[in-house]
Amino acid sequence: MKTKLCLLALITNSLIAESTIADTASNNPMFGDKKSQVMLHGGMSFRSKGFEKLYFGGISYSQPDTFFRLPARNNLELGVFRGKNSKNDPTNKSFKDDVDLSQYDLNMFGISKDVALLSGTNAYLTLGLGAYIKDNDTNRIGSKFTFGERLAVGYRFNNGVVLELYARHFSNGSLTKENSGQNFAGLSAGYTF
């Protein structure tokens, strides 16, 4: 009897959740009535001393979802970090240190989820969390596994174009001693279809 009640409760909960998710997903400000999104991301590294010539570039494919009835999206991401050699560079005014930022060059792949904490019909504020695998460990993130957090404010135009301003942080959660992390601020542009 107890098993039948548990099974009935699970089925009922599933049906209620499915109808709620379906309704919320159709009102997702990141997608409107579309079901897919492709975005290009570009950003520049910042540290406590200011911006530095280390850049982030990426591409992502996303689908709408929900998270505790909030609009959300699931992302597959490919990204790169590319640094410039700042040694003896007279245009490097943000840092007094002569650092070869190309030592932080890497490629990465990951999955993430962004949740719209505040949203209107087309505008939104998201917070995201993801897990990534990198092809290189550095003295800033001393492992090939890393977490990523992302805060973004975005707008989806009625023609499907999406623009977002973001700040993101990559870190391995102190899995290794080397974990000062890496921060980027930038712009994302995409299209929903």
C-alpha span between 150 and 170 (Å, rounded):
9
For the record, the structure tokens of 139 come out as 């003295």
Give me the mean pLDDT over the 50-54 stretch.
92
In tens, the pLDDT along 64-113 reads: 999 999 999 999 999 999 998 766 555 555 555 567 899 999 999 999 99
For the record, the structure tokens of 75 come out as 């992302």
Q: CA 164, 185, 172, 134 torsion: positive or negative?
A: positive
Q: Give the up-direction half-sphere exposure of residue 24: CA atoms within 13 A in the CB hemisphere.
A: 19
Mean pLDDT of the chain: 86
Alpha helices in the chain (DSSP H): 2-26
Q: Give the up-direction half-sphere exposure of residue 14: CA atoms within 13 A in the CB hemisphere.
A: 6
The domain containing residue 54 runs over which residues? 2-192
Give me the mean pLDDT over the 128-135 stretch.
96
In the numeric block, the tokens 């640094």 are attached to: 83
Domains of the chain: total: 1
For the record, the structure tokens of 55 come out as 């850049």
Query: What was the pLDDT predicted at 173?
Result: 85
Write the CATH number for 116: 2.40.160.20
Give the three-class secondary structure for 154: strand
C-alpha span between 108 and 78 (Å, rounded):
6
Q: Give the up-direction half-sphere exposure of residue 110: CA atoms within 13 A in the CB hemisphere.
A: 22
pTM, whole model, 2 decimals?
A: 0.81
> Which has more confidence, 178 or 95?
178
